Amino acid sequence: MYEGKRFLAVIPARGGSKGIPKKNIIELKGKPLIHYTIEAAKSSKFIDDVIVTTDSEEIASVAKEAGAEIPFIRPAELASDTAKSIDVLIHAITELEKAGRFYDYLVLLQPTQPLRLSMHIDGAIEKIVKTGKSSLTSVSPVQEHPILIRSVNESEELEPVLKTSSTVRRQDFPEFYKVNGAIYINKIEDLTNNTSLNDNQVPYMMEYRYSIDIDELIDLEIAKIFLESK
């Protein structure tokens, strides 16, 4: 709880993963990937409860080992490749409210972001409450600056994404940030099935080193390097 508000951390982890089989529980430096996110959430000063929503009994078992709660097994229709994250979250909230459990904010923590720490979660919670806004998302500085990004038009010519001159020193590039997927916070009363989490209002800045998203095997190796350097 923070400033009288209750916070629910939801960690979505479906069993199917095409890029890396069993990605959410793959081993990273001696423990399952999902454990990093569960441990960060449980170490938060402000998170009231930590649940994992999954369709997999195996993931549920692994998550329980780290202290997460599995109040239900996610329906198969919410674990498909086409299922939307917002529908998964609203299902979780609805199920908990049926059991008489109510919260003010939902904190979405994806298990594929193992380097996000409890200090980031707490900092994001403090920021959204102080701003009074409805939603927040974590961001990090872009690694590939859009001033150098081009598209190819129908005439097979390059067109800049930004309609501005790229003849500028790199140190003078304007600042741009990427939604890094590590933390999303939303007022539960404002959530609907049309909510776009990536369009959340308030930015919470994170360094790139904490924003690694495990999507391919090479990302695991990068995460190992950062973990060993801490």
Q: Please tell me the pTM assigned to this model.
A: 0.90
Within a domain: residue 155? no
Domain count, the chain: 1
pLDDT score of 15: 86
Q: Is residue 172 part of a domain?
A: no
Instruction: List the helix and strand counts (H, then E) for the chain.
Output: 5, 10
Residue 69 belongs to what domain range? 7-141+178-229
The pLDDT, as a whole number, for residue 183 is: 98
Q: Residue 203 falls within a domain, yes or no?
A: yes
d(CA 84, CA 69): 22
Query: Could you give phi then psi for residue 204, rounded to 5 degrees?
Result: -115, 115
CATH of the domain at 61: 3.90.550.10
Residue 230 pLDDT: 64
Kindly give the parts of the chain with pLDDT less than 50: none
Residue 173 in domain: no
